[in-house]
């Protein structure tokens, strides 16, 4: 049986402010990308809602201190990501919350306010603990087989952090799908994708990947047995340990501000 650790989520709000190697200000190397980040920050800090307009280009040029060409390239980048739409006669308008738009916005938050990483981990705990209970009540044999297949991949890739994390993410995706609730999948997907980098780093710590695999096996055993409360507890233990691994990776300098908000494309 997996041993329950102390709850690593019980951190004071200023915990990240005191971590070595993490600052609230990260630089961007490309002018267009930096301008795009500034525009996103403007949308968030101004509280603009879907359908509301950004300032005209000439105002953005002055506010960002870049050329009109750079502003247009930044706006086009945000449009390609689904965060805004450029409408004839209206200019740049905030788009609705597609999965990618949510993911990119969360990525910006992590870059400008790294303590948001802890808040994302808390959201995972809130959602996935209950998801595990639902899976124990609803998962069919095909669902269990798919999850077991991902555990086999994790075992095979135990010494390859990138492939291991891909299988780990897919296990959690299959777990959500087994509940039959597509809204949950839409809600969790941008958070899980955004945390890939931190999970890949934490999985490379000695013993972490093997321990996490045992935790996944315990969760799946409880699901297969129809033990909803046991599945919830297993997931709670697993996510707490994952948070502690990430905390240790930050303290050891294995995970820094340049990793915050990084999104794997493809």
**CA gap 144, 160 in Å, rounded:** 24
| Predicted local confidence at residue 97, as pLDDT | 53
| Predicted local confidence at residue 107, as pLDDT | 55
Burial class (CB within 10 angstroms; exposed 0-12, middle 13-18, buried 19+) of 135: buried
Q: What Cα–Cα distance (Å) separates residue 64 from each residue in 37, 38, 93?
A: 11, 7, 18
The number of CA neighbours under 13 Å toward the Cβ of 91 is 11
All domains in the chain, ordered by first residue: 31-101 (1.10.10.10), 113-259 (1.20.120.530)
Across the chain, which has 266 residues, the per-10-residue mean pLDDT values are: 51 46 43 87 76 90 92 87 81 70 54 65 90 97 97 95 91 94 80 72 85 97 98 96 85 59 40
């Amino acid at each position: 049986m997996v041993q329950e650790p102390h709850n690593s989520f019980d951190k004071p709000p200023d915990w990240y402010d005191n971590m070595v190697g993490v600052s609230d200000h990260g630089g961007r190397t490309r002018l267009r990308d930096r301008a795009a980040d500034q525009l996103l920050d403007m949308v968030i800090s101004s509280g603009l809602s879907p359908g509301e307009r950004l300032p005209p280009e000439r105002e953005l040029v002055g506010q960002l201190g870049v050329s009109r060409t750079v502003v247009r390239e930044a706006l086009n980048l945000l449009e390609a990501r689904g965060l805004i739409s450029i409408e004839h006669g209206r200019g740049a308008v905030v788009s609705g919350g597609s999965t990618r738009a949510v993911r990119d916005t969360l990525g910006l938050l992590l870059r400008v306010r790294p303590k948001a990483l802890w808040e994302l981990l808390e959201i995972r705990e809130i959602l996935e603990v209950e998801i595990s209970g639902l899976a124990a009540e609803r998962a069919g044999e095909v669902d269990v087989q798919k999850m077991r297949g991902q555990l086999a991949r994790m075992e095979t890739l135990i010494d390859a952090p990138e492939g291991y994390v891909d299988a780990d993410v897919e296990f959690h995706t299959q777990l959500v799908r087994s509940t039959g609730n597509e809204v949950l999948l839409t809600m969790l997907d941008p958070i899980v994708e955004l945390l890939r980098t931190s999970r890949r780093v934490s999985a490379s710590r000695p013993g972490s990947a093997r321990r996490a695999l045992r935790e996944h096996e315990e969760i799946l055993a409880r699901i297969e047995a129809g033990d909803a409360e046991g599945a919830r507890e297993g997931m709670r233990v697993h996510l707490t340990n994952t948070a502690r691994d990430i905390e240790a990776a930050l303290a050891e300098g294995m995970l820094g501000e340049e990793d915050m908000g990084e999104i794997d494309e493809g």
